Amino acid sequence: MCVALLYNKHYIMKTLKITSSEALDSAVGEVVRQRILHTQALAARDAALAELEKRHHAGIAALSAQIALLESGIQDYCAARRDDLFAAKKSRETSLAEFGFELTPPRVETANKKVKWRDVVTRLLGVAWGAAYVRQAEPQPDKQALLADRDRLTPEQRAAAGIQFCQDEQFFIRPKPETAQ
């Protein structure tokens, strides 16, 4: 078995040969040490990112607020003088930007606030052409409910449903909590 080890900030490949119970215990110990280092490195990275975000948050928030204020003023000015500024087309250009008015992408909304989406579905299903516009979730087995009731389902019930409950054996190495210090 070939493994990569970190040595002086460089990865080196090392062949791992386990030839005895002591070597196995040593290899498991090395896995635990590497996992601890990995967890510590992730925690240090996350702490550094959180600190970086915290350090820059106020400045970025202030810039965002300033941009919103400037854009609002520009929009108000352009809306008040729309006929003069945008007589030929809905946008203008400067050396730094293009700006103006444009349509948003189309979206579907209810006809008014009193109409609910469930009413729209009922109406669509009531017209010959409407079914094509209604999403039907494909039925799927509720695996969580089946697992919760696995001791209650008889072999005949499981056979009738065409299911079985399976477990596999897997190899694991879990560091003990006290080794994390």
Instruction: Give the pLDDT confidence of 120-143 residue by residue, as tens digits.
Output: 998 998 888 888 888 878 768 889
**60-64, 94-98, 105-109, 142-146, range with greatest mean pLDDT:** 60-64
86 is in which domain, residue-wise? 29-102
Neighbours of 170 (CB within 10 A): 5
pLDDT for 36: 93
* Residue 1 scores a pLDDT above 80: no
CB 89 within 8 A of CB 100: yes
How high is the mean pLDDT of the chain? 87
Residue 74 resides in a domain: yes
User: 123: which strand partners?
Assistant: none
pLDDT digits (tens, 9 = 90+) for 143-153: 998 999 989 88
pLDDT for 6: 60
Residue 91 resides in a domain: yes
Residue 37 resides in a domain: yes
Q: Tell me how many domains the chain contains.
A: 1
pLDDT for 35: 93
Residue 164 resides in a domain: no
Across 152-167, b (16+ Cβ under 10 Å) vs e yields eeeeeeeeeeeeeeee
Residue 55 resides in a domain: yes
Mean pLDDT of the 49-77 span: 96
Please return the burial class of 180, using the count of CB atoms within 10 Å of its CB with bins 0-12, 13-18 and 19+.
exposed
* Residue 180 scores a pLDDT above 90: no
pLDDT for 71: 93
Claim: this prediction has a pTM higher than 0.75: no
